[in-house]
Amino acid sequence: MLWRLFVLFTTVFIELTQIIPAMSQLPIKTSKPTIIPWKCLIDDESPLIAPLNQTKSLPKPHLSFAQALICDTPSSQLPKPTLKGDKVSILIPDDEYEKGLDSCKNNLHARIIWPKGSSPLTCVALKEKLKPVWKNLGPWGVSFIGKGFYEFVFSSIEDARRVRSVGSWMLNPGLLKLFPWSKDFNADLQTNTSAQVWLKVFGLSQEY
């Protein structure tokens, strides 16, 4: 029995001595780093190996309000303020003023007449209320300019004319009245020439 085991081990040893030199002559192939998905098998002090195609995005720097307003325009190109009496005055070039007028050619001014006791709408709520009736228009916006007045900005002059063709728009509650845009508009200097009232006339025929 012992003799048979000795012969078996001798045969295995001879075969291994022939295989190992042949394996040492084979080319060594490099492989990608092994990724171990189980965190419990990795030492906490050693970082995880990330996939090669995964890039780490750097956090965006947080800018303060003052930093966001900083522009690259040299101060020498900015208008120089001057004093006129006790007020500061800045001269606006004519070409820049003309550009500003041209950008407002698709604008309209408006005023909402609210019933007594109703709460005014915000610009967001007003736009949501007008979207169903102005759904065939291009992109448009609205801003509040004070004293119940608003300014509407349309994408084209055709859209502004289409909306202006209707004398007033019922908001339920409230009545929106649109009128042409005018330069140097000041809501504080406007006077009210119309009001929303309920009038009941007795004995009036149906056709009226």
pLDDT at 156: 95
pLDDT at 26: 52
> Tens digit of pLDDT for each residue in 141-199?
999 998 889 999 999 999 999 999 998 899 888 889 999 999 999 988 877 666 656 67
Instruction: Classify 150 as helix, strand or coil.
Output: strand
Of 162, 191, 196, nearest in space to 178 by CA: 162
pLDDT at 18 over 80: no
pLDDT at 151: 95
12: left (phi over 0), alpha (psi -120 to 50) or beta: alpha
User: Tokens 């195609």 sit at which residue?
Assistant: 53
> Tens digit of pLDDT for each residue in 117-152?
888 888 999 999 999 999 899 999 999 998 889 999
Cα 46–chain centre separation: 41
Of 124, 110, 131, 109, nearest in space to 174 by CA: 110
Query: What's 19's DSSP letter?
Result: H
> Tens digit of pLDDT for each residue in 37-75?
545 444 544 444 445 455 556 677 777 877 777 777 777
Domain extents for the chain? 104-187
Distance between CA atoms of residues 116 and 174, nearest Å:
10
Q: Tell which CATH architecture fits domain 104-187.
A: 2-Layer Sandwich (3.30)
Is residue 28 very low, low, confident or very high in pLDDT (cuts 50, 70, 90)? low
